[in-house]
Amino acid sequence: AQRLADQRQRVNEVLAPFNLTLEKLKDVQSLMRKEMDFGLRKETQPNATVKMLPTYVRATPDGTERGDFIALDLGGTNFRVLIVHVGKREDVGVQIVSKTFSLSQEVIQGTGIQLFDHIIDCITEFQEENNLRGRRMPLGFTFSFPCRQTSLDQGILITWTKGFSASGCVGEDVVRLLREAAIRKGNSDLMIVALVNDTVGTMMSCGYDDPACEIGLIVGTGTNACYMEEMKNVEILDDSDGRMCINMEWGAFGDNDCMDDLITNFDRDVDQFSINPGKQKYEKMISGMYLGEIVRQILIILTKYRILFGGKISQRLQTRDLFPTKFLSDIESDTLGLVQVRSILTDLGLRSTCDDTVLVKEVCTTVSRRAAQMCAAGIAAVVEKIRENRELNTLKITVGVDGTLYKLHPHFAGIVQETVKILAPQCDTQTLQESSQVLRDWRSRVKVQ
């Protein structure tokens, strides 16, 4: 019994830094608010960690938008090409046909020319499949990396994130890189009209259905958010009328060490072995690319303490990226019994006892709860800023959300919502998941003019 009590105490000690008190979460919220102000002010902006990038999007949709477009979505594990038909809401509304292409490590970590040539090849293949060659169409490029924009159709890549490292792209206008690839490949059908961050795309597409949607949030491979800011607060732009959507690039929050007291040794290990050490610290505590690795680091320590897996650190457990984030979703699922959790571990080559599976589940729950709470602290900072901007006592606002982790994890969304309510009680914050209806066949449903 004494041994069990000792073990329990050890586990509590290991997991303690992940259990954030309300006070700590309020600290995160106010730190985020401070970094937002740094990023918006002219004198502090050049050194800001949360970059607060102007997007040149000045309004959310009003539902009267119409037309046919091609959209590209580049920013994570997959690359998607879409045809988007925006019709009358009472008619067909928004219809989308899309095709997903996987991107190999060689393509995302090779040369920029290879990457952009590959993108054009995928678009061309898609156009051919849908009988669209020879038809010039406006193209919107959803590019989910930090870009410094000076107009809607231009953006200099500031840095790669999320495992991308294609050479010759940082410091270049990615729209120009795409146009040049189209010329090299002889595709003259593409009229690139807009470069948008995925957060902005999400805010806009949710905004088409809900006018209160003025925030976009992504929790997938990485995490980021955007929101409608008053022009007068965007000091680097001279215009002071109206509003503009700001791409926060909040994944970099903490890169100036402002929340190092919250960062655990496990986070440090994950960071150290990542492709971008010291960068995107907030993202690394929240998003899909990293949660499985944090869990693995904790399991290794618990095994070293002889509390797990009979104290044997197997070869498998030492394998980097052994656990995809889907593993957390599966293990934390309320409908899964211990036997099933155990078989997930067995499938990964980890032989576990009943006690082991209970503990693994506890670790997963702890890591994903912290992720959701940290994310909520960021959202709370944003909704409160919007409320203050508008000098309102209460604000009703919607957050448009996309990203597989947010959508598929059994508890993530619920914890975000409940924590935002506590941290920003004067705001009535709703969340709306991006849910564009994707059609299989474009030609059968939409008359191509």
Q: Which of residues 106-165 bind ligand ADP (CB under 6 A)?
A: none
Closer to ligand ADP at the Cβ: 11 or 252?
252
- Token pair for residue 261? 């007291």
The Cα–Cα gap between 84 and 18 comes to 42
Q: Which residues contact 303 (CB under 8 A, 6 or more apart)?
A: 309, 311, 312, 313, 317
The smaller minimum CB distance to ligand ADP, of residues 83 and 219, is found at: 219
Of 344 and 427, which has the nearer Cβ to ligand ADP? 344
Q: Is 223 in the site for ligand ADP (CB under 6 A)?
A: no
CB-CB contact of 337 with 307 (8 Å)? no
By CB under 6 A, residue 301 contacts ligand ADP: no
Contact 383, 395 (CB under 8 A): yes
409 lines the binding site for ligand ADP (CB under 6 A): yes
Known catalytic residue at 329: no
Give residue for tokens 């960071």: 271
Q: Which of residues 74-113 bind ligand ADP (CB under 6 A)?
A: 75-77
Q: Does 289 bind ligand ADP (CB under 6 A)?
A: yes
Nearer to ligand ADP, 185 or 326 (CB): 326
Minimal distance, residue 344 CB to ligand ADP, in Å: 12
Nearer to ligand ADP, 54 or 220 (CB): 220
**Cβ 200 to ligand ADP, closest distance in Å?**
14
- Residues 421-425: contacts with CB within 8 Å, 24+ apart? 422/22, 423/25, 423/26, 423/29, 423/376, 423/377, 423/380, 424/29, 424/379, 424/380, 424/383, 424/384, 424/387
Q: What whole-number distance in Å separates Cα of residue 368 and Cα of residue 374? A: 10
Q: How many residues lie near ligand ADP (CB under 6 A)?
A: 16
Q: Is 104 a catalytic residue?
A: no
- Using CB under 6 A as the binding rule, whether residue 369 contacts ligand ADP is answered as no
| Tokens, residue 331 | 């293990």
- 3-state secondary structure (DSSP) of residue 68: strand
Give least dist CB 206 to ligand ADP, A.
15
List phi, psi (to 5°) of 218: -120, 130
Q: Which of 37, 193, 324, 361 binds ligand ADP (CB under 6 A)?
A: 324
In the set 68, 73, 173, 198, the catalytic residue is 198
Taking CB atoms, the residue at the shortest distance from ligand ADP is 76
User: Is the Cα dihedral 396, 399, 405, 408 positive or negative?
Assistant: positive
Q: Which stretch binds ligand ADP (CB under 6 A): 95-103, 236-244, 353-361, 398-406?
A: 398-406
Binding ligand ADP (rule: CB under 6 A), the pick from 365, 404, 417, 430 is 404
Q: How far is the CB of 336 from ligand ADP (least distance, A)?
A: 13
Which residues on neighbouring strands pair with residue 80, listed in sequence order? 73, 100
Write out the H or E segment, with its range, that includes residue 71: strand 67-74
Burial 97-116 (b: 16+ CB within 10 A, else e): bbbebebeeebbbeebbbbb
Q: What is the dihedral of CA 133, 136, 142, 147, to 10 degrees?
A: 130
Q: Which of 237, 301, 408, 439 binds ligand ADP (CB under 6 A)?
A: 408
State yes or no: is 198 an active-site residue: yes
Residue 405 contacts ligand ADP per CB under 6 A: yes
Beta bridge partners of 398: 213, 430
221 sits near ligand ADP (criterion: CB under 6 A):
yes
Is 430 a binder of ligand ADP (CB under 6 A)?
Answer: no
Instruction: Give the residue numbers annotated as catalytic, written as ranges.
Output: 80, 144, 198
Binding site for ligand ADP (CB under 6 A): 75-77, 220-221, 288-289, 324-326, 329, 403-405, 408-409
